[in-house]
Structure 1
Amino acid sequence: MIFGRKKSIPSELTKKPWWREYGEALLVAAILALIIRTFIVQAFKIPSGSMEDTLLIGDHLLVNKFIYGLPIPFTNKHFLAIRHPQRGDVIVFEFPEDADKPYFERRDFIKRVIGTPGDKVEVRNKRVYINGKLYAIEQERHKESSVVGPQYGPRDNMRPVEVPPGSYFVMGDNRDRSYDSRFWGFVPEGNIKGLAFIKYWSWDSKKHWPRFNRIGRLIE
């Protein structure tokens, strides 16, 4: 007689039911997807033309969620930031005027950073001046030739404003058709969700056809 030998258990008795295996696999996949979406990268779709021609309606893009710091879910706080937003960055942020709305009713906007903390930003006859110097970029577009006076709002003429600490002044590249910091003020850094960095898909709803020349293009 041999002592200490354990009896083997038939595999049929140890194998999990198929529904349990699939359920566990789906649960793990869902958790991983949530972690990636919350802390690493998130997909967004462009619904308006305020960033033309950099971003068109129907462009789908990915946003780096960790470069400005890992977000703490359901708050506007971040930690372990690689760097702060810089002038020229295209950012996705929670619209500041939605702060009093329930969390799931708040809207996300996408604009370009124009002014950083301490900058003095001014608009004169459509042209942007930062700290008294003209700031012109190749991405900006002016699709209306006429210049409207200050009595019609700050679109083409805006008095100098200083960007407060921890905030940013943003504008759309389609300057004549963008609702941005000229109208509603600054973006607190805590509202910024990430840096838009690549277009992974683009769909032209008028032609019902993909824009293949835009797919995989970096956002500059």
Structure 2
Amino acid sequence: MANHILKPLVDNLLTVAIALVLALFIRTFLVQTFWIPSGSMLDTLWVDDHLLVSKCAYDVRLPSDIRLDTTDGKVLMKTGDPERGDIVVFKFPEDETKDFIKRVIGLPGETLEVRDKVVYINGRPLEEPYARHTKSDTLPVRDNFGPVVIPPDRYFVMGDNREGSYDSRWWGPVKRSKIVGKALLIYWSWGSLTDIRFDRIGTLLN
């Protein structure tokens, strides 16, 4: 009789344990959720969009709290490099307890310049259909920047909402090792309990 009572209990506990291990594995190595708190990526990303971020798009690495040969976690396998146009989540250089999200604009070794709000890569204007400009005034640094050569292993990132983004124009390119992952899709979006943006749910990001 005891076996008939204990077996279902053990099975249920085992199922829960396996589910927790799988969830931890996915959260650690594969996918992370991210919430948009500001308008720096408008119109691509809205405040209160919720994203799925691939943590293995560029590297498969141990978590940063498992410190081996680097402070950012040991890279187990390199799966690719960030490309221009990728929307990436990274550790904010001025406070690494915070995650930021921006778009990759400049790659290692390239010369980047901003002239009157237009981005130039190696002297050629960059076509940016995603960029949003909301102000006609000109602000040094924000609208005229560089030219600078992006160092090896670093990426110049900018928000799509150019007049409302605090990005590499102020604090420099992001180290590759600080990039957490690539944003994949919007899995949830709402402005309030009565304002669920169903048309944005499931949107793939590019």
The alignment yields a C-alpha RMSD, in angstroms, of 1.8
| Match status 1:36 vs 2:33 | no
| Match status 1:144 vs 2:131 | no
Amino acid at match of 1:118: G
Q: 1: distance between equivalents of 2:110 and 2:76? A: 24
Counterparts of residues 61-80 of structure 1 (less than 5 Å): 61-74=51-64, 75-77=71-73, 78-80=75-77
TM-score (norm 2): 0.90
Query: What is the deviation of 1:214?
Result: 0.8
What does residue 50 of structure 1 align with?
Answer: 40
- Aligned with residue 127 of structure 1, among 118, 123, 147: 118
What does residue 194 of structure 2 align with?
Answer: 208
Query: What is the deviation of 1:19?
Result: 5.5
Question: Which of the two has higher C-alpha Rg?
Answer: 1
| Percent identity for Structure 1 against Structure 2 | 50
| Match status 1:173 vs 2:160 | yes
Q: Which runs of 5 or more residues in structure 2 are unaligned?
A: 65-70
Q: 1: distance between equivalents of 2:106 and 2:60? A: 23
What does residue 97 of structure 1 align with?
Answer: 94
Q: 2: distance between equivalents of 1:37 and 1:13? A: 35
Q: Secondary structure at the match of 1:212?
A: coil
Bigger shift: 17-26 or 184-193?
17-26
Amino acid at match of 2:78: A
Q: 2: distance between equivalents of 1:79 and 1:28? A: 23
Query: What is the deviation of 1:36?
Result: 0.2
Q: Secondary structure at the match of 1:123?
A: strand
Query: What is the deviation of 1:13?
Result: 3.3
Query: What is the deviation of 1:14?
Result: 6.8
| Match status 1:164 vs 2:151 | yes
Q: Which runs of 5 or more residues in structure 1 are unaligned?
A: 1-10, 100-105
Query: What is the deviation of 1:159?
Result: 1.7
| Match status 1:109 vs 2:89 | no
What does residue 4 of structure 1 align with?
Answer: none
1:131-156 CA-to-partner distances (Å, cap 9, x unmatched) read 111113110000112122x3xxx111
Retained in 1: the 8 A contact 2:60–2:79?
no
What does residue 5 of structure 1 align with?
Answer: none
| Match status 1:24 vs 2:14 | yes
Q: 1: distance between equivalents of 2:95 and 2:62? A: 18
Q: Secondary structure at the match of 2:181?
A: strand
Q: 2: distance between equivalents of 1:143 and 1:82? A: 37
Q: 1: distance between equivalents of 2:5 and 2:153? A: 56
